[in-house]
Amino acid sequence: MPILRNLGRAARQLLQSSGCGCGVSLVPVRGIGVSPRQVASDAGFHSVTFSESDHPRVLITGGLGQLGVGLAKLLRKRFGKNSVILSDIRKPADNVFYSGPFIFADVLDYKNLREIVVNNRITWLFHYSALLSAVGEANVPLARAVNITGLHNVLDIAAEHNLRLFVPSTIGAFGPTSPRDPTPDLCIQRPRTIYGVSKVHAELMGEYYHYRYGLDFRCLRYPGIISADSQPGGGTTDYAVKIFHDAMKTGKFKCYLRPDTRLPMMYIDDCLKATLEVMEAPAESLTMRTYNISAMSFTPEELAQEVQKYVPELQMTYNVDQVRQAIADSWPMNFDDSNARRDWGWKHDYDLPELVTTMFSYLGSDSRIARAN
């Protein structure tokens, strides 16, 4: 197909971009464009030989994003360093490469991906490869290829080799006609970005493969994910990361959303914990294939009030970006995650006060910060 062969250059160009318009900074851009000969050579490089054990043997695609590296660290701690292979099409930093097995994996190269699964006896696959909202809207053909064709490759390989497959979804899978407060697991979903559409497609295809072929497909809809070790990328919920950096550097923050814009949020440790928990949950306890998960829901004004307990002189102003405001206004205000809490015991650890304390603790002290007692 010529369109796929011609996407390599676009993918390489997009890898230089850090933009994200979806607000959930899950993963960076994934691409294609590597020759089959190159793939065949790379597929066996820096792979591992697993010892016999009861631990799952894990592959993470799109692993160099916000969540992949942290997930690999969590899984390696639980299952052993050599039981978890991190993969991407980009060159990893030295600390990531030497922290555990890393391999090149292009989700659009079916043969390469299948070889990795077979040669490394993979049993669990976490599929994080995706083009996010803003980048996807700028290159819809590439987003279709990575987010949909890549998913189809993963689904077929997972079904063929009896893998347990995790694919993340997002608040972006909902649209302006979805109920917003709260948003249940099952409701109308009519997103208006190719990223959101591809995530709804993933949810439904995963469910279909489960009922048609017996695939052990599991999916969580992530809210806005907040972490201190990643820089804000301009997404809709990224204000909730940037406010901490600006508060510590300048004591001033200009917010691009209205002060009363309520969105569901989660600290990254809770997100990773939920992901592992749903993968470890007994199959018989799951009543659905895709679950909402939530921890807290707040507005920029509420977040600023909590931040001011640490930086009392913080000056908060608002300059509303109509594009991002429109996106936020179409997203859930609160997630109903009662099914996750009932079925597999989901329980978050971080509410807003704990989130703020942890962020400031991670980012370090500053002479202006007066910590609350």
Which of 133-137, 193-197, 269-273, 354-358 is predicted least confidently?
133-137
What is the count of structural domains for the chain? 1
**Tokens describing residue 325:** 């405001």
Interval 71-104: pLDDT, tens: 999 999 999 999 999 999 999 999 999 999 999 9
Residue 196 lies in a domain: yes
> Is it the case that residue 368 has pLDDT exceeding 70?
no
Residue 10 lies in a domain: no
Tell me the pLDDT band of 53, cut-offs 50, 70 and 90. low
CA dihedral angle for residue 271, residue 272, residue 275, residue 280, rounded to 10 degrees: -140
Q: How far is CA 160 from CA 145, 153, 163, 216, 365, in A?
A: 21, 11, 8, 12, 51
> Is it the case that residue 7 has pLDDT exceeding 80?
no
Interval 191-201: pLDDT, tens: 988 899 999 99
Residues in a beta bridge with 225? 266
Residues in a beta bridge with 292? 221
Residue 145 lies in a domain: yes
Which of 43-52, 110-119, 141-150 is predicted least confidently?
43-52
DSSP conformation letters of 259-316: TT--EEEEEHHHHHHHHHHHHHS-GGG-S-SEEE--SEEE-HHHHHHHHTTT-TT-EE
> Is it the case that residue 219 has pLDDT exceeding 50?
yes
Longest dimension (CA), the chain: 63
**Tokens describing residue 284:** 């018989």
> Is it the case that residue 2 has pLDDT exceeding 50?
no
Tell me the pLDDT band of 51, cut-offs 50, 70 and 90. very low
Residue 274 lies in a domain: yes
Residue 90 lies in a domain: no
Residue 152 lies in a domain: yes
Residue 245: CATH number of its domain: 3.40.50.720
Tell me the pLDDT band of 369, cut-offs 50, 70 and 90. very low
**233 closest CA partner among 92, 23, 70, 68:** 23
Tell me the pLDDT band of 326, cut-offs 50, 70 and 90. confident
CB burial string 305-343: b at 16+ within 10 A, e below: ebbbbbbeebebeeeeeeebeebbebbbbbbbbebbeeb
Residues 103-126 have a mean pLDDT of 97
pLDDT of residue 249: 92
Please give the residue range of the domain that contains residue 301: 130-371
- Choose between 33 and 149: higher pLDDT: 149
DSSP conformation letters of 169-218: EEGGG--TTS--SSBPSSS----SSHHHHHHHHHHHHHHHHHHHH--EEE
Which is it for strands 263-267 and 296-298: parallel, antiparallel or unpaired? Answer: antiparallel
Q: What is the mean pLDDT of the chain?
A: 85
Residue 38 lies in a domain: no
Looking at residue 49, its amino acid is T
Cβ-contact 22, 147 below 8 angstroms: no
Active site residues: 195
pLDDT of residue 13: 40
- Angle between the N-to-C axes of helices 110-119 and 150-160, in degrees from 0 to 180, rounded to the nearest 10: 30
Which of 29-38, 236-245, 266-275, 300-309 is predicted least confidently?
29-38
Q: What phi, psi does 335 have (nearest 5°)?
A: -90, 135
Residue 355 lies in a domain: yes
3-class secondary structure, 328: helix
- Choose between 129 and 20: higher pLDDT: 129
> Is it the case that residue 306 has pLDDT exceeding 70?
yes
Residues 152-165 have a mean pLDDT of 98
Residues 111-134 have a mean pLDDT of 93
Q: How large a percentage of the chain has pLDDT more than 90? A: 73
**Tokens describing residue 93:** 């930093």
pTM of the model: 0.82
Cα 235 from Cα 227, distance rounded (Å): 14
Which is it for strands 224-226 and 164-166: parallel, antiparallel or unpaired? Answer: unpaired
**303 closest CA partner among 267, 345, 340, 249:** 267
Cβ-contact 123, 137 below 8 angstroms: no
Owner of token pair 């950096």 = 245
